[in-house]
Structure 1
Amino acid sequence: MQRRRIIQGAAVTAAAALLPASARAGAEQAADTDHPGAQWSPASTSNYTVSSRPSEYPVERVIIHVAQQTFTETVGIFQNPAKAVSAHYVVRSGDGFVAQCVRERDIAWHAGNWDFNTRSIGIEHEGWIDQPSYFTPTMYERSARLTADICDRYGLTKDRAHIIGHHEVPGSDHTDPGANWDWVRYIRLVNLLG
């Protein structure tokens, strides 16, 4: 009986890989996330590019964002096919809950620079850059744990050259994560938790 379940599961996985992106996203809804601490909350397939990273594009950095929205509104924007934006993850302020919206193998549209999109993982954080009360200890810790996991899996050095803010993307007109983001604390946590 156990062997039959394993074989059936493998057949379902193989069949799902042949589906178009829109159907694949639905089939993967019940699948595990890339980060064990995340819950799958899929973005609209209209808001990212299907890829086969890291074989198609190497992952070279993590980009930190602040959404200028609540957690729920941010996930809703990513699920709206008219918005043409997404990030791989969204971290909630109060309890550090992590939603994964785009598979890491796929290219989220978060950086505003195609080359950086293809070679990075984007993490949005609930809140506003001018309201540091959103940057809770729990949010920093859960986000740092996520970033450490990404760095470990892709062999990235846990430093400011490989973990950057959205404002540091060439051509970006964004200012997030802003002056209130504590980079010293964040990088220390990424190294401590990884």
Structure 2
Amino acid sequence: MGKKARGGAGGRSAGGGTGSGTGRRAFLVGGTVAAVGAAALAREELTRWWWRLPGMEKDRVEGELDHKGAQWAGASRANWRRADRPDDFVIDRVVIHVVQGSFATAVKVFKDPGHGAATHYVVRKDGHVAQMIRELDVAFHAGNRDMNERSIGIEHEGFVDRPEGFTKAMYEASARLTAGICARYGIPVDREHIIGHVEVPGTDHTDPGPHWDWDRYMPLVRRERAKLPSAD
């Protein structure tokens, strides 16, 4: 959350006929290329959306966790979109948020269908993690459709102007969470792929704010990532 306080042309040759034939061949070849291109695009779309066909969707278990040890606290269905990531959309970003409020506030508003937004996870000051949306689904968290489709959002309890709220337990729990996400999807552990909400194109948010300690957080994520196997 952390809302801002805010053209050639073919011609007939001198020998007669050759140029015309070349032109026809060029037209046919061009048409074939266009058809192949269209077919490739159609296959790409089919690959992305096949799971929406009747009987093709993966089985799901209500409340299943992607992060071991998290508490399931399902967000309102109005605040996320069913998907089949990473089969339909690649996951290559983690977006860090700060609530501008408490853990309880974040969980409450993400369960509210009128709120229109939610993150996949919420991290409390003491390191407790709640999962509110499955990673395979698209959360409405970044204010940018492309980023929503390619990312996982992590909300943190606290305020952007209160650095004392970003505790050791919170940083460490969040780092373990982000490292696990990076391991599952082969996401590089760097600041191009792990970003703040403020860095999302078109956003009007400022979180996680100037007091979020990236120099502290990123080494913690790298340390935790080194303990985990690489993505298959």
Query: Whose Rg is larger?
Result: 2
Q: Which residue of 1 aligns with 2:199?
A: 168
What's the TM-score, normalizing by structure 2?
Answer: 0.71
2:131 equivalent to 1:97: no
Secondary structure, counterpart of 1:46 in structure 2:
helix
2:161 equivalent to 1:130: yes
1:79-90 pair list within 5 angstroms: 79-90=111-122
Within the candidate set 182, 207, 221, 1:151 is matched to: 182
2:59 equivalent to 1:28: no
Secondary structure, counterpart of 2:216 in structure 1:
helix
Q: 1:185 to 1:81 in 2, by over 3 A?
A: same
Gaps of 5+ in 1: 1-14
Q: Distance in 2 between matches of 1:18 and 1:51?
A: 10
Q: Which residue of 1 aligns with 2:152?
A: 121
Secondary structure, counterpart of 1:180 in structure 2:
coil
2:88 equivalent to 1:61: no
Secondary structure, counterpart of 1:186 in structure 2:
helix
Q: Distance in 2 between matches of 1:193 and 1:60?
A: 18
Q: Distance in 2 between matches of 1:171 and 1:62?
A: 17
Q: 1:188 to 1:45 in 2, by over 3 A?
A: same
Amino acid at match of 2:150: R
Q: Which residue of 2 aligns with 1:47?
A: 79
After the TM superposition, which parts of structure 1 deviate over 2 Å for at least 4 consecutive aligned residues? none
1:54 Cα deviation from its structure 2 partner: 0.4
Secondary structure, counterpart of 2:188 in structure 1:
coil
Secondary structure, counterpart of 2:109 in structure 1:
helix
Amino acid at match of 2:163: P
Q: Distance in 2 between matches of 1:169 and 1:18?
A: 30
Q: Distance in 2 between matches of 1:102 and 1:50?
A: 10
Secondary structure, counterpart of 1:65 in structure 2:
strand
2:212 equivalent to 1:181: yes
Number of aligned residues:
170
Q: Which residue of 2 aligns with 1:3?
A: none
The alignment's C-alpha RMSD in Å is: 1.6
Q: Distance in 2 between matches of 1:142 and 1:174?
A: 24
Amino acid at match of 1:56: D
1:60 Cα deviation from its structure 2 partner: 0.9
Q: Distance in 2 between matches of 1:117 and 1:183?
A: 22
1:69 Cα deviation from its structure 2 partner: 1.3
Q: Which residue of 1 aligns with 2:35?
A: none
Over residues 109-135 of structure 1, what are the superposed CA-to-partner deviations in whole Å (9 max), with x where a residue is unaligned?
Answer: 000000000000000000000011110
Q: Which residue of 2 aligns with 1:139?
A: 170
